Amino acid sequence: MEKKDLLSTRQVAELLKINEKMVYTLISEKGLPATKVTGKWLFPLHLVKQWVENETINYPKETSPLPPYHGLVIISGSNDILLDRLISKFNGLYAEHVAVFGNLGSLGGIRALSQNLCHIASSHLMQDNEQEYNFDFALEELGQLPAVVNFCQREQGILLSKGNPKGIQSIADLGKAGMKIANRPMGTGTRKLFDVELEKAGIRGDQIDGYEKELQRHMDVGLEILSGKADAAPGIKAVAGLLGLDFMTLRWERFDFLILKERFFDQGVQLFLRLLHEPVFRDLAQDLEGYDLDLCGKVIFPQQSQPNPRTDR
């Protein structure tokens, strides 16, 4: 380190436009980087600049790491069987475009959107009023509402072993001795709903065997039950139908796509959204249980849709 890279107390005071006495206060109370050599304080210039940056509030957001659209549609957020099929269909139909998915959970998808790491976030986070979805979480992470387009409505509940040998009839039954479950990760909409229902039933999750066993995909949870490793797990009805499991319904939920307004009209995003209205997409859901496509493709925000018959009941 050269001599010019070390500042004296007076030089730091001039740099920060404060008096010298305040410099000593910042050292002791605010962690201003400093070192003592032969009884005098010296301040590494690069560390002082870094300290100022770290102490800055209302720091402007970084410019988007997403390049101008060039054929890659990035979707991140909640895992869904029908969404997997949609992505595969998109890639089969549009040779000059590629859609990829990052399985981050609903909250992770919204946070990726806030960092401009994806074009579309897929989310089904239930709000505290248990009627609306996603808006409060988007506002908290983004500071404003993005465009919100419905993907589907899904039937959420508890996956059970075939024949329900443990006789599980309610969430409260999961707290009985001998029960073993599998779970979804924190930040997923399924986990949030499950934790809300456990709290209503007066059950602490950490008292249930398997509560801490988190699996990344809905199908993984279903396979855990099919293999006999768990008696029950939160999940969607589509998994129960595909694997021949029993299912206990908790509620229908709204599953949305969230898109930053400045990326909404990117060519690939528009192609992806347009596909929601095509018969070829609707055919993908024909053999899946627990999906309602009445709202699919409709703009939920900024143009508010009609009341939702599934969640407004």
The answer to whether residue 310 sits within a structural domain is: no
Asked whether residue 110 falls in the same domain as residue 164, the answer is no
**What is the model's pLDDT at position 53?**
74
Burial of 244 (0-12, 13-18, 19+ CB in 10 A): exposed
The answer to whether residue 126 sits within a structural domain is: yes
The list of the chain residues with pLDDT below 70 reads 1-4, 56-64, 303-313
The answer to whether residue 231 sits within a structural domain is: yes
| Segment holding 87, helix H or strand E | helix 81-93
Tell me the per-residue pLDDT of 60-81, one tens digit each, with 9 for 90 and over. 555 557 889 999 999 999 999 9
Domain that holds residue 200: 156-251
The answer to whether residue 101 sits within a structural domain is: yes
Burial of 68 (0-12, 13-18, 19+ CB in 10 A): exposed
Nearest by Cα to 148 from 86, 85, 115, 106: 106
**What is the model's pLDDT at position 307?**
47
Q: From CA 308, how far away is CA 294, in angstroms rounded?
A: 9
**What is the model's pLDDT at position 120?**
98
Burial of 308 (0-12, 13-18, 19+ CB in 10 A): buried
| Segment holding 250, helix H or strand E | strand 246-259
Q: What is the domain count for the chain? A: 3
Q: Is the dihedral of CA 199, 200, 201, 202 positive or negative?
A: positive
**What is the model's pLDDT at position 303?**
64
Say if strands 120-123 and 72-77 run parallel, antiparallel, or are unpaired: parallel
Instruction: Copy the structure tokens of residue 14.
Output: 């001039």
Asked whether residue 142 falls in the same domain as residue 269, the answer is yes
Whether the Cβ atoms of residue 145 and residue 117 lie closer than 8 Å to each other: no
**What is the model's pLDDT at position 99?**
98
Tell me the per-residue pLDDT of 16-54, one tens digit each, with 9 for 90 and over. 999 988 888 888 878 899 888 777 889 888 888 888 877
Domain boundary among 11, 29, 55: 55
The answer to whether residue 235 sits within a structural domain is: yes
Asked whether residue 166 falls in the same domain as residue 118, the answer is no
The answer to whether residue 65 sits within a structural domain is: no
**What is the model's pLDDT at position 5?**
79
**What is the model's pLDDT at position 125?**
97
**What is the model's pLDDT at position 174?**
97
The answer to whether residue 311 sits within a structural domain is: no
